[in-house]
Amino acid sequence: MTSYNKLSLRIGLTPVSPCNYLPDEQEQLGVVMDHHWLTAPGYGVLIASGYRRSGTAVYRPMCQQCHACTPLRIDCEHFTPSKSQKRQLNQMKQLRWEFKSELDNNWFELYEKYIRARHAKGSMYPANREQFYDFCTAEWMDTLFLHVYENDTLVAVAVTDVFHDALSAVYSFFDPDSHLSLGTFCVLYQIRYCQLTDRKWLYPGYQIDDCKAMNYKVRFKPYQKLLDGHWQ
């Protein structure tokens, strides 16, 4: 078994570029260069150290002037839903959910609708199958796809990396016309799966307080933030 605490970790810095989340800031990422870290156990060590993956690239923000991106993880073992989350959990009873190793055949129709409605000005438009797989999967990672159904109609998918003690939310898409809070539902289903499989943590990505699209993560309590190298 590889002892990752004894392995070197080389980081390459990307060029400075405009930040995708805070328009007045500049972004720079540190990308893992050593391939011996690009395994499920290696990434398990790295994600607990504040890294994330995009496809096969494992990275961490290393911006010189800004430290807004804070790694966060939800304590699923002690998760206590808020009043609004209790209402949402009750709404979720009308839906059916299942984690699968492959996507349903009709997933792309839902994904295309979501991208067209929510990200028509983003880099993922127009929707592309190969681009999606390159962004969401890695051949060395155990990844499951949460499927959510309403009356047997697929309404949401959440790409989810699987570790022995945790899940990581990679990406989700859902029916933009639904009256339900399907994005929140996906997180609640991931928390529930952690509880059912004795996994303690859900890593939902970086918390960015000043970005409305990225600050929902603190609604799921209790949680920990990685500050000065320590989860607290």
Give the number of other CB atoms < 10 A from CB of residue 160.
23
24 and 107, same domain (yes or no): no
Report the CATH number that the domain containing residue 187 is assigned in CATH. Answer: 3.40.630.30
8 and 83, same domain (yes or no): no
Average model confidence (pLDDT) for the chain? 95
203 and 88, same domain (yes or no): yes
- Reading the block at residue 92, the tokens are 């979720």
| Cis bond before residue 15 (omega within 30° of 0) | no
180 and 67, same domain (yes or no): no
137 and 30, same domain (yes or no): no
pLDDT tens-digit readout, 120-151: 888 888 999 999 999 999 999 999 999 999 99
pTM: 0.95
52 and 144, same domain (yes or no): no
Domain total of the chain: 2
pLDDT tens-digit readout, 169-178: 999 999 999 9
Flag whether 218 is in a domain.
yes
Q: What is the dihedral of CA 210, 167, 83, 206, to 10 degrees?
A: 0
Residue 186 sits in which domain range?
73-207+214-227
Let me know: does 213 contact 55? Beta carbons within 8 Å. no
Residue 55 has pLDDT above 80, yes or no: yes
Domain boundary among the residues 17, 43, 71 is at 71
pLDDT tens-digit readout, 152-199: 999 999 999 999 999 999 999 999 999 999 999 999 999 999 999 999
Residue 58 has pLDDT above 80, yes or no: yes
Flag whether 186 is in a domain.
yes
**How many Cα atoms sit within 13 Å of 28 on the Cβ side?**
12
Q: Which of the four pLDDT bands, split at 50, 70 and 90, describes residue 1?
A: low
62 and 112, same domain (yes or no): no
Instruction: Give phi and psi for 25, each to the nearest 5.
Output: -115, 165
Domain boundary among the residues 53, 71, 89 is at 71
